[in-house]
Structure 1
Amino acid sequence: MALGVPPIASAAVTAAQVTGVVSGVGGKCVDVAGAGTVNGTAVQLWDCDGGSAQSWTVGSDGTVRALGKCLDVTGQGTVNGSKVQLWDCNGSGAQQWSAEADGHLKNPQSGRYLDAPGGSTVNGTRLQIWDRNTNPWQTWHLPDGGTTPPGSCAPSLGAGQYNTPVSYEGKTYQLLVHIPDRQTGSRLPMVLNLHGSQSTGAGQLAYSDMAASADSNGFVAVAPTGVVPSGSGYIWNVPYVTPSGTRDDVGFIRQVIDTLTVSACLDPARIYATGYSGGGRMTSALGCMLSDRIAAIAPVAGIRAGRPDPSGADRPDPTSCAPSRAVPVIAFHGERDATNPYNGGGDNGAWRYSVAVAQQRWAALNNCPTGPAVTQTTTHVRRTVYTGCHDGADVELYTVSDGGHTWPGTPHDNGNGNVTHEISANALMWEFFKKHPLSRPVG
């Protein structure tokens, strides 16, 4: 059975066979471990590098070959979980593959599909076969005859602003995306933009005025919506804050990243997060718990560094925020914020320690030896920064002396106090984000 190329490829293939990378979940590539050619060498996921271990020839005979050998199901296995490997080409059913229109890659002998276990994108994840499902870790982008350079991508989502589905834990959610025009084959950065309590993704995208910024700077803006009803909208399931029993929103955001990395052709090294109010608290939690995927964060009117310590609510609980790497942080907060008071306290039981203490905690987490250095940037705005941090993960805070519970620079008045136009949160966070990609994408 001949192996066809899914229509998600950027051009039709007219040659009898094509050679190039096979990419999948997390933007990772199908890779021969150590470029080994011994029979039984593992086939795995790895960062795309364009090397010979990731150069696959899709043949008209139904084989997928690398380094002169064939992609093979170990031991002619047909059960879920059978691993794939590299083996001498022998014409067996274990080496036959058929591409389906939506990017699934089927081994007809077993009736099962090439799969990354559990959606893992950690380098070295051993590939297997599994029953067909709709998870993004069974979607593969095959070589396109050389029309797209190695490491580039052909998105299935086009430019525009619209909803696209994301499946998580057996349910499907609609996700609002704003995708700018792009050069063919390019991978784009993404900014997650999380709404405040009692709002929605659409409301947040409009309030922050981020679509225009996405178009002018060439990044994908993504505005998901929480699932816990509150007022006229929803709230996020912020770890240690929201009662349990609802969607795991850290896991959900991970799924959003995995899904869009494939469908929107994202650059895994340039995934960022921002959010307003409750969305700022959720953004802070993502910095704590999803630092392997999110390169930098920019909470607006909501910077936290974990829950208040039960033994002393004027400081963060160190056990509730333990990122796996130093996370660059840029934050914005008004000193006249009556919802999340700058000096802590207020009606929200999760908002006890001050904004300055939250910044100090991120500086400690990032091992910043220098700071705080304070400069007056405009009449009502001062910048506080900790520098020299591990891996360059600086921690910046823009304090607006006359600012309310608002988004700096937005043209919209939400009735929560003064909106400063002396600075633009969108412009400043994007300049910060550009300086802080992940040095090496991690699963």
Structure 2
Amino acid sequence: MRTPLTATAAALATAAALLTAFTGPTASAATPATGQITGVGGKCVDVAASGTANGTAVQLYDCNGTAAQQWTVGTDGTLRALGKCLDVTGQGTANGTRLQLWDCNGSGAQQWTAESDGHLKNPQSGRYLDVPGGSTANGTRLQIYDRNTNPWQTWRLPDGGTTPPPGSCTPRLGSGEYDTPVGFGGKTYQVRVHVPQRAAGARLPLVLDLHGSQSTGPGQLTYSNLAPTADAKGFVVAAPTGVVPSGSGYIWNVPYVTPSGTRDDVGFLRQVIDTLTGSACLDPARIYATGYSGGGRMTSALGCLLSDRIAAIAPVAGLRAGRPDPADGSRPDPASCAPSRAVPVIAFHGRQDGTNPYDGGGDGTAWRYSVPVAQQRWAALNGCTAGPAVTQVATHVQRGVYSGCRGGADVELYTVSDGGHTWPDSPYDNGNGKVTHEISANALMWDFFQRHPLA
């Protein structure tokens, strides 16, 4: 599919809609997209020496933010910098014709059409913006050439762009909330997903949202209320369901805790990620996990055992760092949590939690050691050198942070003095104590996730 920048007077009437498609919903026809055009090697389309004389070479160069690299996507089909237009020299149409800067004159040599796979076409010649031989050397003069699949014909226009970046894809799953199948171990499981609206070709982050014991994926998606945050911030939520029946729902097979002989849930959740990465066009560097209660314990286990795929975790009322040590339940068993990299952690817990007590105790196989001990263990695993620095962020909420960690993998804990076994700012009372509305777990965890993509 091709999306023209616009080339005729009739097309000017649709300029606002086109600019919205190019630059996102915040753009307007009154403010055309302006910024860098990036290509092969992450380098920029550049006006040589910031020259403004007609015939000044247009080249590839290190991105540097100068005016020579600030291009405006015109509503008339042009690409403009320094008050002039990107132009095919001499109105040429042959392969290898070089590009230059020239007074804007409305000719076909200055018309450009953005295609959905990242190509930029000059309709007059039928050829495309191209880097000779794919050279990434500074000063490489740009040209037009027959369309091909080489990466040096893929471009990204300003402000997120009119064209998808390299590695973009077309999702099979559209926006909305529904169940989608995931095959694992010879069986097919239905996983509840919520997919926001997206720009064409964009790869989105994923947040796994894991339910508490005796619940389900759809029930957790409702309780956490993550869908509105996903719509506002632009990420996919997947809320799968455990397989071990318990009460009116299911529990997760948390490694070293749940009796063996059931589904490998670490493997299953890896498959959920793999499946949705293709069908929902996910960004592999921005896969995150959160969960409540038993789902928080499972989220913690993913940090321990799936750190190659999970960029950061956010357990709610369930932070662990491995099972309780069989020899001393007041501390974690070091052998049960050995991530392959430092994992950023943000957690939330109520001091009045009677199910997973903040100070420890409770279930001897799944809980025992305290939440601060779990945080301290993650800080040790991440090689943190400072903390915990504690600040009062609201009347009943303290934030404790271990910092100076490897790879910036800080470990944060929000402690709610009057909070129960609940999800901060959930609109639902689950009967397990007070729900604080002094902080929003969803807003805080998403801000944390954004700062911690997978390296």
- 8 A contact 2:293–2:317 mirrored in 1: yes
- 2:419 is matched with 403
1:238 & 1:170 partners in 2: Cα distance?
Answer: 21
Summarize deviations over 1:103-157 as a string: whole Å, max 9, x none.
Answer: xxxxxxxxxxxxxxxxxxxxxxxxxxxxxxxxxxxxxxx99x9875421111111
Percent identity between the aligned chains? 77
- 8 A contact 1:50–1:150 mirrored in 2: no
Question: How is 1:229-378 mapped onto 2 (pairs within 5 angstroms)?
Answer: 229-378=245-394
Task: Name the TM-score, length of structure 1 as normaliser.
Answer: 0.67
Code of the residue aligned with 2:450 in structure 1: it is K
2:238 & 2:271 partners in 1: Cα distance?
Answer: 13
- 1:162 is matched with 178
- 1:177 is matched with 193
2:172 & 2:197 partners in 1: Cα distance?
Answer: 13
- 1:150 is matched with 166
Code of the residue aligned with 1:232 in structure 2: it is S
Code of the residue aligned with 2:432 in structure 1: it is N
- 8 A contact 1:377–1:383 mirrored in 2: yes
2:249 & 2:227 partners in 1: Cα distance?
Answer: 21
2:294 & 2:416 partners in 1: Cα distance?
Answer: 19
2:242 & 2:273 partners in 1: Cα distance?
Answer: 16
1:223 & 1:377 partners in 2: Cα distance?
Answer: 30
Q: CA deviation at 1:349?
A: 3.0
Q: Secondary structure at the match of 1:244?
A: coil
Task: Name the TM-score, length of structure 2 as normaliser.
Answer: 0.65
- 8 A contact 2:390–2:398 mirrored in 1: yes
1:282 & 1:311 partners in 2: Cα distance?
Answer: 22
Q: CA deviation at 1:348?
A: 4.8
Q: Secondary structure at the match of 1:287?
A: helix
1:352 & 1:159 partners in 2: Cα distance?
Answer: 42
Summarize deviations over 1:247-288 as a string: whole Å, max 9, x none.
Answer: 000000000011100100000000000000000000000000
1:349 & 1:274 partners in 2: Cα distance?
Answer: 21
Bigger RCO (CA 8 Å, 6+ sep):
1
Code of the residue aligned with 1:191 in structure 2: it is V
What number of residue pairs does the alignment pair up? 305
Q: Secondary structure at the match of 2:183?
A: strand
- 1:426 is matched with 442
2:40 & 2:309 partners in 1: Cα distance?
Answer: 22
Q: CA deviation at 1:347?
A: 3.8
Q: Indicate yes or no: 2:234 matched with 1:218.
A: yes
Q: Secondary structure at the match of 1:353?
A: coil
1:215 & 1:348 partners in 2: Cα distance?
Answer: 39
- 8 A contact 2:216–2:250 mirrored in 1: yes
Q: CA deviation at 1:350?
A: 1.6
Q: Indicate yes or no: 2:221 matched with 1:205.
A: yes
Structure with the greater alpha carbon radius of gyration: 2
